Each structure stands twice: as C-alpha cells, then as structure tokens.
Structure 1
Amino acid sequence: MEILMSIVVGVLFMTATYLMLSKSLLRIIVGTGLLSHGAHLLILTMGGLKRGAAPLLGENADSYTDPLPQALILTAIVISFGVTAFFLVLAYRAYKELGTDNIEQMRGTESNE
C-alpha cells in the first residue's frame, strides 16, 4: 500500500509542478492546492500506514497507531486552506483591477505566441 501511495504522491507533485509553471493565475492556485494535498499524503505515508488501536491509557491492544502524523496533517490542512483562500481573494482582486489572470500581462510584458 505504501508503494501505491508513493506513486499517487509523485503524480500529485508532478501535476502540481506542471500547473504552477503555467501562466494562468488560477492554474497556479490549483497547483498549490494539489501540492499541499501531495504533502499531506506524503506525511501520512512516511508515518506508516498501520492499523491499530488509539493510544489511550488503560486500553490493552496488540498495536497502536502513531497520532503525530495525523496531527501534523490536520494542522497542514488548516494552513493550506487559509493560504488557498488568500490566493483566491488575491487573484480575484487582481483580475478586477487588471482585467486578466495571465501572469505575463500582469507584469506588463507582452509575449508573441
């Protein structure tokens, strides 16, 4: 299962990198969202995909699950949600001000493609 998750993380990173290198601001925002999802899955996979009981005192179980990766992922989800919301508001404001979401036109340089 870890190998499958590693392949999924690689595909997410590859897609996010492709989207972040484009000229459209909305594609860049989607790319950062995919990159954060890939990072969440990477943290979960590196923590180990084990089944076990919750680490509670007084409960006797054969194996326990480490709660640290889950806590890190929960914190990262909240942070990435805030960053994505900020990016969306910034992109909306830039579109209303400049009338485009093309990064090259926002800089003022025209490309002849």
Structure 2
Amino acid sequence: MKKAASIVLMVVAIFMISACGSKLDKTGEEFKDSIIKDSAYGDEYSEDSFSFLMYKDKDTNRYLADIWVPVKDEPSALEYFYYYDEDKQLDSTKSKATFDDMKASGNYEVIYKSGKFK
C-alpha cells in the first residue's frame, strides 16, 4: 500500500513540475510578446506559428530565446536567437555561436518551451 501511495505521489509531483514549467513571469511574457510583435513579423502571425525555447538567468533579469519564426505560410521555418536585457531592450542574431556564448556566460535555465521544442 505504501509503495502504491509513493508511486501516485511521484506521478503527481512530476505532473505538477511539468505543468508549472511552462509558465512565464511578467517580464518573460513581455519578452515573448516583443518577439512576436517585432517589426519583421508584423501582425500576420499568431503565437502558434512560432516555436520558443526561452531561458532566464537566475542571477540577473536577462532572458535568451531560441526562436523558430514563420515564413509566408510555413510556421516555425527560420531560426533566430533573441536577447532581452534588464532595460527590456530586444536584440536578435542569426548566429548560434553568439547565442551559445551568451548562454554560457550566465546562469541560465529553461523557463518556457513551445512548438518544435516540446
């Protein structure tokens, strides 16, 4: 009986961790919305057309994101890397090496996944 209860508690804990793992704080939501509203994409695409893998630095209020953006009628077609600093300035690059260097220079953890990254 105790073994069954332990298994049930473990399953519930795993479910709760995975369900809460894709919640963004206010700044994370602003970061995601800024990417979607970026002038290159306009109002043509909804959030469902993007794939997000977002990171937050545990020690600062900086965010990084690996994003697949839509092109014409194809969702998640082109990969870009975004950065959001303490001053809420949005910046992007196409360089995975630059993104990896930025990620390695901080204490980043995954805070949100969607689309291709799920």
Flag whether TM exceeds 0.5 (same fold).
no
More helix by share: 1
More strand by share: 2
Bin of the TM-score, shorter chain as denominator length: under 0.3
TM-score with structure 1 setting the length: 0.28
Is the radius of gyration larger for structure 1 or structure 2? 1
TM-score with structure 2 setting the length: 0.27
